[in-house]
Chains A and B, each alone.
Chain A
């Protein structure tokens, strides 16, 4: 489409600029509000000329909400989810595509079925699982009469209650979100397009499965991995409901939850400048990650959803 239609171009540009203004509107407004002192931000109407209080507001939000710790937590959570999800899914897909064992079909079907389950349905029982991740093992333990066995060994009565809570921990923030059917599915689709000859050649040369994975599959998957790193990082960083449920300690919670506590309530001073400053700050990391890795991101998205 190399054609010049000045009138249409003009309308297109006008439309686009209008669009940008609409999209950018709340964000620009927030940026301005974040630079104003309290008396300006609560004045009617609020001035639309930026003030000079940006650093002051950000510092206030930083200390009041303990944002430093929480942004660090968000990074730990996002990185943990990214690394764990990609590693587990990739190895899982490797196993499903390249190995033959009795439960292969069953394993794949069970992973695939979870694609159908909406998160909301299982979020509450997931919380129960995380509150005591060894809970499901208790019936097995009791069934095997392990208490009796231990008592026999120890010579006196022993009662074992299996209990390992993931609440208020990094493990709890990360682990339940790591097993991913979508991600596994993506890797499976990709591995299926890798020519069989590569695998056979590796076999001829006497490469073990692990060597094949390390030397052939991994280098081939680098593009996919890069795309997934971006997507999963953004996904992990923006998680809301899960950290809200599983953390009660403000030192363990994430930046997104911390933000919520800065919203002025009905009886507080309307300190929107501080809340909006914090919001702008918390928004930044995903935007930066995508800016630096835009090419991978878009490629990955288009491949992921098709």
Chain B
């Protein structure tokens, strides 16, 4: 196990760290006085939470668009956005995703979150940071549902 871990470090993690540091420096992230640089492994990202929410919502999905991903970049969060066509009324869709949020440990969006993100459905601590889920519905017969997950590490 230890040997396998060390091999992973040599063959996977270290090059990844070097690549990320090079990208960060190329983007102009030159450390300021007092800056601390931290490298932390992570196993789940916004795309994983997006997939988990859709799965746990248990809604009758007619069609699902591709998941658009935006990696964390500077002050911007790691983000995943997907549009689904769901054969259910708005209240059912909203309830399904609210239950999925609760299963992921996220609570209903509070007033402060809604002030900045009126479409926020839920938010809370997730994977060493915080996650916010937005749900935009356009319902007529079925519901065209856009689900956005933002994962912040600060």
Do A and B interact?
no
A residues touching B (Cβ–Cβ < 8 Å)? none
